[in-house]
């Protein structure tokens, strides 16, 4: 008895897996435009809830996509059921690893855009607006952070002003302001 007209049992099973995984992948793709779909709350090593773990929902869907379509197409090409199972598992494993690697790479590109003040300490820059002496406010510096060029309020502890275009080093930082000293020539 055939499960589907024109299909033998193994072909019907692979076809069902393939189409179910395809529809699920399409659903996840569409829903990801409207929400940060995490597919079941997988937690990665950082513990931030991002779906980046090896056994993430998307990677498992990728496995079933490869298994279903690989097995179905190999049966269509005339392979035996055993060969189709082997090909389906191999394609599924490749898809699983590929999706897991791509998701991990994409989530690795995420940045919240915030820069911690501590990361500025030790960085060099240039005075943008002359820095008054003895901790008085009003000066600004430009510091080239790895992600962007920052223009930030600056103070200094020296007795004479630091003029514009002078090279400086950040010695301390707090939210919105850095303490600097001129670079020794």
Read off φ and ψ for residue 73, nearest 5 degrees.
Answer: -70, -35
Q: In this predicted structure, what is the pLDDT of residue 36?
A: 64
Distance between CA atoms of residues 165 and 161, nearest Å: 12
Question: Could you state, in chain order, the average pLDDT of each consecutive group of 10 residues for the chain (185 residues)?
Answer: 60 94 92 68 44 76 95 94 96 94 82 77 92 90 85 91 93 90 80
Domain 117-182 has what CATH class? mainly beta
Distance between CA atoms of residues 80 and 88, nearest Å: 12
Question: DSSP of the chain, one letter per residue?
Answer: --SBTTB-HHHHHHHHHHHHHHHHHHHHHHHTTTS---TTT---TT-S--S-STT-HHHHHHHHHHHHHHHHHHHHTT--HHHHHHHHHHHHHHHHHHHHHHHHHHHHT-------GGGGTT-EEEEEE-BPSTT-S-EEEEEEETTEEEEEEEEE-SSS-B-TT-EEEEEEEETTEEEEEEPP-
Q: In this predicted structure, what is the pLDDT of residue 60?
A: 92
């Amino acid at each position: 008895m055939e499960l589907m007209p024109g299909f033998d049992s193994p072909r019907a099973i692979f076809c069902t897996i393939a189409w179910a995984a395809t529809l699920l992948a399409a659903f996840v793709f569409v829903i990801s435009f409207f929400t940060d779909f995490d597919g079941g709350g997988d937690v990665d090593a950082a513990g931030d809830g991002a779906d980046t773990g090896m056994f993430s929902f998307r990677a498992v869907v990728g496995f079933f996509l490869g298994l279903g379509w690989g097995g179905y197409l190999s049966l269509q090409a005339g392979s035996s059921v055993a060969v189709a199972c082997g090909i389906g598992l191999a394609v599924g494993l490749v898809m699983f690893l590929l999706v897991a690697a791509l998701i991990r790479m994409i989530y690795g590109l995420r940045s919240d855009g915030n820069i911690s003040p501590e990361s500025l300490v030790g960085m060099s820059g240039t005075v943008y607006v002359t820095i008054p002496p003895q901790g008085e406010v009003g000066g600004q510096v430009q510091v080239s952070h790895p992600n962007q060029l920052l223009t930030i309020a600056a103070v200094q502890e020296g007795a004479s002003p630091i003029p514009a275009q002078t090279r400086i080093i950040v010695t301390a930082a707090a939210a919105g302001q850095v303490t600097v000293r001129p670079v020794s020539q």
